[in-house]
Structure formats: C-alpha cells, structure tokens
Structure 1
C-alpha cells in the first residue's frame, strides 16, 4: 500500500506486559497471525490479517509497565516538521522523532486535551497493508476528548484537515477530512464518562460478525463497554482487552439507518 497523505492514520500498536496473552486474545478475536519478534527493536511483533500487516504488539520498555492502550500513528512526510507544528499548536512532544532503522521515523505526542498519538514518517515500512474492509484490518478511529474546541483547532492546524460537524443535538461529534476522504472522528466526552478515564483515541478493527467477535472477546476475559449497536456505518461494539487496552470492532456489512447530516465548519 502506498504512503498515505500527511495526517492519514497509517499504523497502530500497543504495549502489553503479557505479550503472549495479547497475541492469543487478538488472534482469536480478530483472526490475527503474528510475525517473529524483533529483539533488535524491543521484541516488536507485527500482526497480520491474511498475510497483510495490520498492527503490532510490543512489551513495555522498563519503567513503562502501566495501563495498556492502543496508539494510532498519523502519516508524515517530515516527522521533525510535524513535531514542530505539534508544539506550535499547543501539543506536547513526548518522544522526539527517532529513526527506526530503515523502517521509518516515529515520534509520540499528546494533543492539548491529553490524547496520546504517534507520527510516522515512512521508510521501508509504509504502514497498514490491508484495506479497511478486510476482516482484522484497522478501519476507523475517533479522538475522545473533554476539550473539543482545543482538539479541533489542534488537529486541523497540525494536519490540515477540513472539518464537518455532525448535526445531532444528542452528541458533539466532528469528522476530519483529507482530500475529500473522511479519515478521523472526534467525540466530546460527556459526564457519562468516568472522570478517571483520560482522553484517548479509540481504534476500530473490522470483523465479519460483531456479535461473534464480542462473544469471543468476553469469553477470553475482555470487557464489553458499549454495544453491540447498529449504525449507518456498521454494527459495532466497544471493548477492553484483558490487559485493559480499549478498542472497537465493527461489521461493515451490517448497516441500519440513514447517514447523518453534517455541516462544513472548516
């Protein structure tokens, strides 16, 4: 798959204290297989769906054995320049751009609302190899934030997104576009969210049957957080894996209802 335009979600990975347990869980729930762990890069282990790279799992580095969570990376033509824009627009660079062999250059950052994300300047590793429609593949992501205005200004400035607001009085939801393609969502966290839950980016993976994926996840010790629920985009559910990392699954073939109306607010 070719290098994606700047600001396109292009990769996802997560740290797990028990790497084998994570591999067993996601292998069963999402049908992933796993490559050899790379000891040179901290036992970074790629996950595959039908032979195509879709994500990676890795043990935590010393001192980082905390709560597991998925990290979404955005494509960049120049990670150093993106890091500079992150700072200029009120974000925080948590890890300076670092070259990862011939694979590319990465950095980690936090938006003004507190959501952590990554930046990836591709070398030989261009990111996701599987299309969103393929079972097991990354499909979609949403930034959950308590500071929507700051979040919106930040992401549109750093990545040049056009923004559209969903016309729904019940939720504050915004869509970000690149070159006419919707690439990211933003949801305002209401008082319904536990106050101890920090802002985060929720990643969605495609499954052939949402209810079956939920049943598999719960049987293996995962926790159902929301759903399953039908939507115009697909039937989806939000879960936490046994080590606490949140993610969602979606069946794109099972849809219900009409597409929501949006207003251009760029």
Structure 2
C-alpha cells in the first residue's frame, strides 16, 4: 500500500532550521551530499520507533512549502492513476543512487510528491 515516506522542508536558513527541529523534536541531521546544501533528517514515533525520514534544503522559490512524498511501487503506474483521477503529475525525475520522484497536484490544487525507491537510478 502506498504510504508517506519522506517530508521535504524548505528553509531560508539551514542552521537555524536544523537547530529549531533538533531542539524541538530531537530530530538528527546528516549531510549525505558534500557538494549540496541539503540534509537528511530522521524522526521517531511516540514509542521511539523509526519514523518518517525527511530532507531539508534551501527554499527555491517564495511561498514554497513543505512537500510530503508518498512511496509507490511503480511511479509510471501512479502517474497514470493520478492523471486519470483528474490530477497532474510531472515526468519521473531521477535522484541518482536513490530512486525516482514525480511532483504532483491533486484535484484541489494541493502539491505532493510520489517516490519509487531504486538504488540503480541514474
């Protein structure tokens, strides 16, 4: 079943945002791409189990908000389903070594992403 797998938080000040979320929720951050100002964070649920992962990077445009990503077994299948249901979806975009994503919009104008994990993505 498709489920939320990643949250992407844009920020004006990475250090300030990392401090805010780590102090507030005990999230931990790591920088997987040395040449990119982007951090991966980990969360835990109320029982201390691993929670949804996320990423934090610089805001790319004014008004850009949090984007939730839903993991799906087949990006192409879900892009078709989204379009058939009246939504919009971008063509698949690779995240090399991690997977593929598509940015989508539902029938109400809400933005979300879908994600297919694939370590062979190029």
Indicate yes or no: 2:46 matched with 1:46.
Answer: no
Alignment map for 1:49-64 (pairs within 5 Å): 49=43, 54-60=53-59, 64=60
Judge conservation of contact 2:67–2:112 (CA < 8 Å) in 1: yes
Q: Secondary structure at the match of 1:74?
A: strand
What is the 5 A alignment of 1:120-199? 120-124=115-119
CA distance in 1, matches of 2:14, 2:32: 10
Quote the Cα distance in structure 1 between the aligned partners of 2:84 and 2:34. 36
Partner SS, residue 27 of structure 1? helix
1:81 aligned counterpart, secondary structure = helix
Shift of 1:54: 2.4
Could you tell me how far apart the structure 1 residues matched to 2:26 and 2:101 are?
Answer: 27
Q: RCO greater where, 1 or 2, for CA within 8 Å and sep 6 or more? A: 2
8 Å contact 2:69–2:113 — kept in the other structure? yes
1:55: Cα distance to partner? 1.5
TM-score, length-scaled by structure 2: 0.80
For this pair of structures, how many residues does the alignment match?
A: 113
TM-score (norm 1): 0.39
2:5 and 2:53 in contact (8 A); partners too: no
* Aligned Cα root-mean-square deviation (Å): 2.0
| Among candidates 74, 78, 91, match of residue 78 of structure 1 | 74
Which structure 2 segments of 5+ residues have no match? 45-49
Check 1:9–1:65 CA distance in 2 against 1; reply closer, same or farther (3 A cut): same
Bigger Rg over Cα: 1
1:8 to 3, 9, 12: 3
Runs of 4+ in 1 over 2 A off after TM superposition: none
The 10-residue stretch of structure 1 (22-31 or 69-78) with the greater mean CA deviation from structure 2:
69-78
Q: Show structure 1 runs of 5+ residues with no match.
A: 125-266
CA contact (8 A) 1:78 1:121 kept: yes
